[in-house]
């Protein structure tokens, strides 16, 4: 099996892992108060940009 010729230094390992972080999703708040992702219709009230776009249980 192929083996690396040199040990990966802590510096090189950490530099590689500098890109591993998962960014937290951007959260905005709907007019109904629910947290929603940008450019998505609200799952609670079914509105997007102040307009009803989906069927919802209470609206
Ligand atoms: Zn809403």
Instruction: Give pLDDT tens digits for 24-58.
Output: 989 999 989 999 999 999 988 889 988 888 875 55
Residue of 51, 6, 12 lying closest to 59 (CA atoms): 51
Determine if the pTM surpasses 0.75.
no
Q: Residue 33 Cα, ligand 1 centroid: separation in angstroms?
A: 6
pLDDT given for residue 56 in this prediction? 55
Q: Residue 16 Cα, ligand 1 centroid: separation in angstroms?
A: 40
Q: Residue 25 Cα, ligand 1 centroid: separation in angstroms?
A: 18
Q: Residue 21 Cα, ligand 1 centroid: separation in angstroms?
A: 30
Question: What is the SS3 string spanning 4-48?
Answer: CCCCCCHHHHHHHHCCCCCCCCCCEECCCCCEECCCCCCCCCCEE
| Cα distances (Å, whole numbers) of residue 56 to 9, 11, 29, 46 | 55, 52, 18, 6
pLDDT given for residue 46 in this prediction? 87
């Amino acid at each position: 099996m192929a083996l690396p010729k040199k040990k990966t230094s802590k510096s090189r390992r950490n530099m590689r892992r500098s890109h591993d972080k998962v960014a937290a999703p951007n959260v905005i708040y709907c007019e109904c108060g629910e947290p929603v992702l940008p450019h998505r219709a609200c799952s609670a009230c079914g509105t997007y940009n102040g307009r009803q776009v989906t069927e919802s249980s209470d609206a």
